[in-house]
Amino acid sequence: MPLSALKSENQITPELEAMLLAQRSAYRADPMPNRATRIRRLDTLHNALLDHSDQLITAVSQDFSNRAAAETYLTEIAPLLDGIAYYRKRLKRFMKPQRRHAPLLLQPASTHVFYQPLGVVGIVVPWNFPIFLALSPMIGAIAAGNRVMLKMSEFAPATGALLQTILGKIYTQDEVSVVTGDVDVATAFTALPFDHLVFTGSTQVGKIVMRAAAENLTPVTLELGGKSPAIIHEDFPIQEAAKRLAFGKCINAGQTCVAPDYILCPKNKLDAFCTAFVEIVSKSYPSLRDNNDFTAIITDRQKARLEIYLRDAQEKGAELLPINPTNEAFDNSRKMPITLIRGARDDMLVMREEIFGPILPIIPYDSLEQAIEFVNNRPRPLALYYFDWNKSRANDILTRTHSGGVGINDTLSHVAADDIPFGGIGSSGIGHYHGKEGFLTFSKAKGVLRKGRVNTTRFVGPPWDNLMYRSLKKFQKLRHRRR
Ligand code: NAD
């Protein structure tokens, strides 16, 4: 059946259709790539990342008009190298069929789970970490034996074009192919009947993508956004909290899905926190406009959106604290200072929308209970950060709040921990990748039961009024009776 027969109202283009068909038939020719093939695919990517890291850093910076080189290395390239090493080391164990229990009633029999590649995985990539968010799910999909089609973001065109060239050199089109283009291409891409679709982007577009995937019953992993809170416990040293939070907020100028979106700070520590935060950020970025360490906003449109948030907050009575140590002007520049907001309220855009930029509202709280309630009264976030040396209180936060992931006494770094799953919950996403969970996401865990030469149903089966069946029933009743 041609793919177009399966399409919804979204137009599948012939080029995309041909690409998917080529990948699908290559997959059928080698439906269970062995470990050596998977490792070869991962290793060539590993070497390409090492060979082209400088070019990649330059391309991302071009897309942002400036992105700190160290940020691209530390948040995109380094975790990918580690991610490849992680799967390389564990692939044998992950691929091994797992023996499982077979119930007495079915004996003699053996059961196992067979981890089968799904086929062709589609991956839709946002602009904010365009290398990591393209290749990190791809590494999991390749490790699990799949073919991959990537749709890069139209807002990171230099990175998209470079990845297309690099991946085009190391993979055949039917192993990995890269698609670039605008929303129309993205719409057509997500209408393809992939065997699995990973979408990373906004919650709003995530809903559209899930609808498109539903037409084909394509399973989805949705890596979405939201407002990730940080709670500082009263006992935690406020200077240290400010230091750790500033790092997580300033990376990529706050354009990070897991950046702290707002801070819940003990009321009596609010002044101290703001003072410390301003001091730390000013030291890290003594100037902004021409400072290559300080990343710019991706587009004029995104900058305008953030400026609207600031204006709205100010007009509604909030106090803005822009951290601009040398009082620079930012006309004709896509840079924006990190701005703390005091007095933010629920009716302000900064508290209603995901910020995704260099703005940080600080919300005072009186009791930890109040802070927990504040978080629980809002949609479930992608990340939650809690600052407290007390382990039992931190464990309590784990059980009393929901979020995709948690950072205790740190920000962002849980995303780079290979061995734990990464993914949202509720409006921040569905499903996971990274770690063993990532391998499972991109595999069909197929349950298999095997019987041998002895066929017990021969003795138990119909006509049902036989001694074996009656004895079996009696035995089962005795076995399962709970006293
Ligand atoms: P976006 O939702 O606007 O776009 C993401 C991708 O979807 C792009 O490749 C785009 O081409 C495509 N797209 C746009 N409209 C589409 C449509 N109608 N149908 C199909 N595809 C479509 O998001 P963005 O602005 O690129 O990224 C910012 C958002 O992504 C933020 O909300 C952020 O929190 C989220 N994000 C989440 C994660 C995560 O891992 N959970 C990571 C990074 C970013």
Query: Is 304 found in the same domain as 207?
Result: no
Under the banding of pLDDT at 50, 70 and 90, the label for residue 482 is confident
**Number of domains comprising the chain:** 3
Query: Is 458 found in the same domain as 402?
Result: no
Residue 209 CB–ligand 1 contact under 6 Å:
yes
Residue 63 CB–ligand 1 contact under 6 Å:
no
pLDDT tens for residues 91-101?
999 999 999 99
pLDDT tens for residues 73-116?
999 999 999 999 999 999 999 999 999 999 988 999 999 999 99
pLDDT tens for residues 353-410?
999 999 999 999 999 999 999 999 999 999 999 999 999 999 999 999 999 999 999 9
First to last CA, the chain: 57
In a domain, 426, yes or no: no
Query: Is 439 found in the same domain as 397?
Result: no
Distance 378 CA to ligand 1 centre (A): 21
Query: Is 333 found in the same domain as 304?
Result: yes
Residue 257 CB–ligand 1 contact under 6 Å:
yes
Query: Is 49 found in the same domain as 181?
Result: yes
In a domain, 428, yes or no: no
- Check residue 439 and give its pLDDT: 98
Query: Is 240 found in the same domain as 217?
Result: no
What average pLDDT does range 435-447 have in this prediction? 98
pLDDT tens for residues 126-165?
999 999 999 999 999 999 999 999 999 999 999 999 999 9
Q: Provide the β-strand partners of residue 327.
A: none
- Check residue 457 and give its pLDDT: 82
Q: Which residues are within 8 A (CB) of 377 and not within 5 positions of it... i.e. 6 or more apart?
A: none
Query: Is 219 found in the same domain as 278?
Result: no
Task: Write the residue with the smallest CA distance to atom 19 of ligand 1.
Answer: 187
> How far, in Å, CA of 404 to CA of 383, rounded?
5
Query: Is 15 found in the same domain as 154?
Result: yes
Distance 206 CA to ligand 1 centre (A): 7
Q: Assign 47 to helix, strand or coil.
A: helix
Distance 428 CA to ligand 1 centre (A): 12
In a domain, 325, yes or no: yes
Which atom from ligand 1 is nearest to the alpha carbon of 404? 41
Query: Is 196 found in the same domain as 98?
Result: yes
Query: Is 388 found in the same domain as 248?
Result: yes
Query: Is 206 found in the same domain as 249?
Result: no
Q: Which structural domain range is residue 374 located in?
A: 229-417
Residue 184 CB–ligand 1 contact under 6 Å:
no
pLDDT tens for residues 205-233?
999 999 999 999 999 999 999 999 999 99
Specify the amino acid at residue 129. Answer: F
The pair phi, psi for residue 86, each rounded to 5°, is -60, -50
Count CA atoms within 13 Å of residue 209 on its CB side: 30
User: Residues for the chain: how many in total?
Assistant: 483
Least confident piece of the model among 318-332, 338-352, 467-481: 467-481
Q: What is the CATH number of the domain that holds 348?
A: 3.40.309.10
Count CA atoms within 13 Å of residue 430 on its CB side: 13
Q: Provide the β-strand partners of residue 150.
A: 123, 178
Distance 286 CA to ligand 1 centre (A): 32
Which atom from ligand 1 is nearest to the alpha carbon of 129? 43
Query: Is 438 found in the same domain as 335?
Result: no
Q: Among 153, 216, 252, 255, say which to mutate for ligand 1: greatest number of ligand atoms within 8 Å of CB.
A: 153
Distance 482 CA to ligand 1 centre (A): 52
Q: What is the CATH number of the domain that holds 193?
A: 3.40.605.10
What average pLDDT does range 327-349 have in this prediction? 96
